[in-house]
């Protein structure tokens, strides 16, 4: 049966202006970091995209190395896009990135113009697209001059291969310099993608201030700290959890008694707010108007629709914020 998007898909989603730009993004965006590779069930991946789009999520976030194997998330997304979303490309914001290892040799990593231009060309072929809406430099390169990396992003926009450019994993000082160079080149930075959650607060060390001052949007990834900010671990480690099955990005060493105590205390506050812990953790990010969108991941369609519950209440009282902060300041 041919997929027909929900006619009500724009009625319940919130759309936020991205910094000082003309573009708005859905308050939640779907990240394809996990669950879209060749190792995953293709039809489940397609159902995740459809569920997100039906819910008003318009932004789909990829990178050259997402899979596994690297590149396969883009290939599968391209197949889904052309099979199920013919005629809906202009309702989507599609992003990709380059900056981590993608192929062997000296030109398949970091931030040279050679790597970034070549990588995006490969990404466009994999997705069978003429352009992406946003192209990010995925991480700062300590050896390539930032001027070269930003010139590559500027060139990519002028070539028509991306409409906007962004940064990811840059700290406040690095971001401020890069944003300034892009502004001088005439291709302003649209958005920055940092790792940010209740448990990872690094963007508060000046980065959010830089983005707010420069009119650059913010889109946090790993907002639930790889699942720690859910009720999943309140009673031990489930057999189907990422800790039990993967252990690569999250393992048992992260589940300390102190961390579990924090999770339980935060869960108590969430329950008093009438929310699940995961909803409160997402709402906690959305309360900041410098945050344009929050990247969510999912392995099941129901996880996407469940995340949207956070939009029903992202207002916090000063008492709640103070209580949350007291919990987060406790030792792990």
For range 325-331, the mean pLDDT: 95
Measure the CA–CA gap between 15 and 19, rounded to whole angstroms.
12
Specify whether the CB–CB gap between 218 and 192 falls below 8 A: yes
Measure the CA–CA gap between 164 and 23, rounded to whole angstroms.
10
Measure the CA–CA gap between 113 and 111, rounded to whole angstroms.
7
Q: How confident is the model at residue 83 (pLDDT cuts 50, 70, 90)?
A: very high
DSSP 90: G
Strand pairing category for 15-17 and 24-26: antiparallel
Measure the CA–CA gap between 173 and 136, rounded to whole angstroms.
18
Which helix or strand (DSSP H or E) is residue 12 part of? none
User: What's the pLDDT tens digit per position in 236-251?
Assistant: 666 666 555 555 555 5
Domain 15-228+288-314: assigned CATH number: 3.20.20.100
User: What's the pLDDT tens digit per position in 5-49?
Assistant: 999 999 999 999 999 999 999 999 999 999 999 999 999 999 999
How many angstroms separate the Cα of 96 from the Cα of each of 87, 133, 288?
Answer: 21, 8, 25
Measure the CA–CA gap between 109 and 86, rounded to whole angstroms.
33
Domain ranges for the chain: 15-228+288-314
CA angle centred on 73, ends 70 and 75, rounded to 5°: 95
Specify whether the CB–CB gap between 89 and 126 falls below 8 A: no
User: What's the pLDDT tens digit per position in 120-156?
Assistant: 999 999 999 999 999 999 999 999 999 999 999 999 9
For range 53-62, the mean pLDDT: 98
Q: How confident is the model at residue 191 (pLDDT cuts 50, 70, 90)?
A: very high
User: What's the pLDDT tens digit per position in 200-249?
Assistant: 999 999 999 999 999 999 999 999 999 999 998 888 666 666 555 555 55
User: What's the pLDDT tens digit per position in 274-327?
Assistant: 999 999 999 999 999 999 999 999 999 999 999 999 999 999 999 999 999 999
What pLDDT score does 243 carry? 59
For range 99-105, the mean pLDDT: 98
**Mean pLDDT of all residues belonging to the chain:** 95
User: What's the pLDDT tens digit per position in 247-277?
Assistant: 555 556 678 888 999 999 999 999 999 999 9
Measure the CA–CA gap between 190 and 264, rounded to whole angstroms.
37
Rg value, the chain, Cα: 19
């Amino acid at each position: 049966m041919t997929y027909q998007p929900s006619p009500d898909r724009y009625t319940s989603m919130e759309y936020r202006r991205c910094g000082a730009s003309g573009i708005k993004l859905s308050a939640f965006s779907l990240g394809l970091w996990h669950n879209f590779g060749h190792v995953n069930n293709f039809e489940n991946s397609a159902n995740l995209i459809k569920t997100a789009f039906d819910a008003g999520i318009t932004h789909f976030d990829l990178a050259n190395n997402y899979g596994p194997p690297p590149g396969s998330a883009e290939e599968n997304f391209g197949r889904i896009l052309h099979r199920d979303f013919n005629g809906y490309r202009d309702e989507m914001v599609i992003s990709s990135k380059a900056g981590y290892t993608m192929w062997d040799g000296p030109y398949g990593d970091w931030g040279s113009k050679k790597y970034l231009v070549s990588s995006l060309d490969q990404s466009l072929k994999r997705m069978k697209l003429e352009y992406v809406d946003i192209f990010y430099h995925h991480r700062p390169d300590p050896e390539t001059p930032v001027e070269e990396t930003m010139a590559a992003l500027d060139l990519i926009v002028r070539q028509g291969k991306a409409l906007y450019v962004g940064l990811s994993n840059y700290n406040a000082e690095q971001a401020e310099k890069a944003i300034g160079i892009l502004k001088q080149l005439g291709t302003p930075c649209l958005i920055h993608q940092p790792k940010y959650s209740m448990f990872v607060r690094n963007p508060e060390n000046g980065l959010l201030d830089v983005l707010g001052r420069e009119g650059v949007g913010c889109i946090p990834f790993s907002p639930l700290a790889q699942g720690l900010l859910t009720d999943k671990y309140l009673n031990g480690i489930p057999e189907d959890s990422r800790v039990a099955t993967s252990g690569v990005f999250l393992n048992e060493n992260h589940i300390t008694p102190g961390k579990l105590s924090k999770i339980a205390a935060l869960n108590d506050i969430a329950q008093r707010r009438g929310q699940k812990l995961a909803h409160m953790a997402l709402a906690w990010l959305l309360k900041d108007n410098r945050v344009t969108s929050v990247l969510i991941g999912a392995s099941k369609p129901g996880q996407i629709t469940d995340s949207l519950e956070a939009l029903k209440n992202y207002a916090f009282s000063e008492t709640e914020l103070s209580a949350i902060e007291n919990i987060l300041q406790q030792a792990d």
